[in-house]
Structure 1
């Protein structure tokens, strides 16, 4: 009779996300994962497969969580410009989270050499851009944003700005600088 799992899959996946997010894929060894996740190496292989398969499952879970948070944000009945501000501010470090963004970090580290990672990252970016596009259109329909704004171009711009912030937060030490950048980005919507 086989052993029963003595862990909850999403809890250990969340630990894998944290470790991969902090160290990256290449710098994270299987022993690091065993130690950080608190489960046996054999359990990792039996449940998730090899290191790459675990990484992909961690990326998919992170993407799902982030997309849910973003959807909840854009569904709020608040002024669109305020929602975009909060979206951009989500780039700034949160207590208990590593710097930057796990998806962005993955794209930078592995996007060129790993087609599976590249696909997942691009898919995540497309979902975010579509939500931004819809948000711009909603703002225009409500009369909160100029009708002359091109939703597709602005959604590309905001996505690029957000990705830049998610990268910059890893080295920027002044909160004021990041806040100023967000303010400037929002001014383009006036």
Structure 2
């Protein structure tokens, strides 16, 4: 029997790869290696499973972003390259589906479900706050306010994640991120 974390991870990947509307309770039960009755007993509904998936997504994204930032800073990676790495995360890998669960759900569900909208907005705000933290040390060299630069970077991240979902290649996405970050950070 898989652990609760393994089950919610399987749910998260299912929602991430196929979207909320295209995912059925049967899909979630199969992904989590649960019977239908076990699913309802433990998770109650598809919406509740999605909320738990988003909580895990935020925790996972925070952890991986922290590791990425620490690694890049230890290597002396220039700010623009570090920011590009942050914006690309967690696009395509063997571990995660393409795109970004948060961006996918913002586009799919929007404001139709207030709880999900609030959760995705909290994830978005947290990521933007992390970017503000990275940019603050370089505030004097930025072409605009730190908050405005972070907002522009988040808009860029959303676009890159949508392109990733459309199966753009990793090289194309990285080049797009690096070029766009340089333009935003340098104001050229």
Match of 1:93 in 2: 92
Q: Which secondary structure does the structure 2 equivalent of 1:87 belong to? A: helix
Contact 1:91 1:165 in 2 (8 A): no
Structure exhibiting the larger radius of gyration computed from Cα positions: 1
The 5 Å alignment of 1:42-53 reads 42-53=37-48
The list of structure 1 runs, each at least 4 consecutive aligned residues, that deviate by more than 6 angstroms after superposition, is none
1:93-148 per-residue CA deviation (whole Å, 9 max, x = no partner) reads 112422211111111111221111110011111111111111111234xxxx7155
Cα RMSD (Å): 1.9
1:41-84 per-residue CA deviation (whole Å, 9 max, x = no partner) reads 22222222211111110111111110222233334443433321
The 5 Å alignment of 1:32-71 reads 32-71=27-66
Give the alignment partner of residue 146 of structure 1, picking from 129, 132, 141: 141
Number of matched pairs: 181
Residues 13 and 92 of structure 1: CA distance in aligned 2, closer, same or farther (over 3 Å):
closer
Unaligned runs of 5+ in 2: none
Residues 7 and 147 of structure 1: CA distance in aligned 2, closer, same or farther (over 3 Å):
closer
Unaligned runs of 5+ in 1: 1-5
TM-score by length of 2: 0.86
48-57 or 173-182, larger mean C-alpha shift: 173-182
Which structure shows the bigger proportion of residues in helix conformation?
2
TM-score by length of 1: 0.85
